[in-house]
Amino acid sequence: MATLGIDLGGTYARAAVVDANGTILAADKVALSERSPTAVVESIAGAVAAALKLASDVPVSAIGVGAAGQLQGETGIIRVAPNLGWRDVPLGALLAQRFGRPVRVVNDLSAAAWGELKVGSGRGAQDLFVVFVGSGVGSAIIANGQLVTGASGVAGEFGHIKVVPNGRLCGCGERGCLEAYAGGRNLIAQLQEAIDGARPTLLKQLAAEPGPRPLAPTLLETAADAGDPVALEIFERAADSLALAVANQVTVLNPARLVLGGGTLARMPGLKRHILAGVLAYTLTVSREALTITDAELGDDSGIIGAALL
């Protein structure tokens, strides 16, 4: 018996038939040209049909969805999905109606954490703290072998803890969030501000170099490594905030494994070293002694596998 996993991002949807061992038997991906809930459900249906056709000999029981948005508890309702421009969309009900099968919807990071727990870097652990630093900063918590969803389904919003009271404006509309300093999108914004600013900085030269070079967070590490004070300031504020916050969360949660993932972290080895050093320096000893730190193993597949296994 297999289940169907759906990974709903802001620009695409993926569907996969996943067996009980977490192996992807068949998968399909569609771009989301239109973002209305009805159009997205139809796009998902296309991917689902294609995946089911590829694995037509396998009976599929239930559907799990990992969606990039804030869930309303276990209702299947997406409260806010910024990248889709959604508010209060009953995605679970829409999909259950469309497919005639039970549907469970969770946050994309929760799904990814579940995938890592079951068949990735968290295998065998009961207590996991998973941190993703991509364009945003997010986390998921697994305690006693169960996903911690919280009272209204938004547990793990680690990117929106406040690190500078009334600080930098975050994409969530609040101020001083960890993500406002350390998320990929905000690192790029801070780079751009530095390039446009009055202070001299190596960043201006690096960004002006010929050739197509996106304003990536890697630029920041290059300039910070070269000792550029402006770059160092941005880098250290991001890295120190992230390192201390991760360490403190490990102190409180006492997980067996800390799983680090996300595209920004993958492209910024210095940031990752800073987190590892921070955990070493700031985590309470008794919590640190129980901890293993690993990279996310499943990459982009963790969400779809986790959604299917949930």
Question: 98 with 45: CB under 8 angstroms?
Answer: yes
**Residues 160, 282: Cα–Cα separation, whole Å:** 20
Q: Could you tell me the smallest distance in angstroms from the CB atom of residue 97 to its own copies? A: 26
Output the six-digit token pair for 274. Answer: 């800073």
- Structure tokens, 258: 């800390």
Q: Which is nearer to its own copies, 46 or 90 (CB)?
A: 90
Spatial separation of the C-alpha atoms in residues 70 and 156, rounded to whole Å = 10
Instruction: Establish if 161 lies at the interface with its own copies (CB under 8 A).
Output: yes
The mark string for 185-224 relative to its own copies (x by CB under 8 A, - otherwise) is ----------------------------------------
Binding mask 35-74 for its own copies (x = CB under 8 A): -----------------------------------x----
Residues 14, 43: Cα–Cα separation, whole Å: 9
For its own copies, the closer CB: 160 or 272: 160
Q: Which stretch binds its own copies (CB under 8 A): 21-29, 55-63, 262-270, 278-286?
A: 278-286
In the complex, the smallest distance separating the C-beta of residue 252 from its own copies, rounded to whole angstroms, is: 6
- Is 107 a binding residue for its own copies by CB under 8 A? The answer is no
- CA angle 187–190–194, rounded 5-degree value: 135
Task: Determine the Cα–Cα distance for residues 21 and 242; give it in Å rounded to an integer.
Answer: 34
b/e 66-102 (16+ beta carbons within 10 angstroms → b): bbbbbbbeeebbbbbbeebebeebbbbebbbebbeee
Distance CA 148, CA 144 (A): 9
Minimum CB separation of residue 132 from its own copies in Å reads 14
User: Which positions ≥6 away from 219 have C-beta within 8 Å?
Assistant: 191, 203, 206, 207, 213
Window 77 to 106, contacts with its own copies (CB under 8 A): 79-80
> Per CB under 8 A, which of residues 140..159 are in contact with its own copies?
141, 143-144, 146, 148-158
| Residues paired with residue 78 on neighbouring β-strands, in sequence order | 71, 89
Q: Which of 100, 165, 211, 212 binds its own copies (CB under 8 A)?
A: 165
Is 284 among the residues that bind its own copies (CB under 8 A)?
yes
* Beta carbons within 10 angstroms of residue 304's beta carbon: 30
Shortest distance (Å) from residue 14 CB to its own copies: 26
Min separation Cβ 170 and its own copies, Å: 10
Residue (of 149, 144, 164) closest to 244 by Cα position: 164
Structure tokens at 223: 């300039």
Q: Which of residues 217-256 bind its own copies (CB under 8 A)?
A: 240, 244-245, 247-249, 251-256
For residues 239 and 213, what is the distance between their CA atoms, to the nearest angstrom?
23
- The residue from 282, 294, 295, 297 that contacts its own copies (CB under 8 A) is 282
Minimum Å distance from CB 309 to its own copies?
17
Q: Which stretch binds its own copies (CB under 8 A): 138-146, 193-201, 205-213, 220-228?
A: 138-146
Footprint of its own copies on this chain (CB under 8 A)? Answer: 70, 79-80, 125-127, 139, 141, 143-144, 146, 148-158, 160-162, 165, 172, 174, 176-177, 240, 244-245, 247-249, 251-256, 281-282, 284-287, 289-291
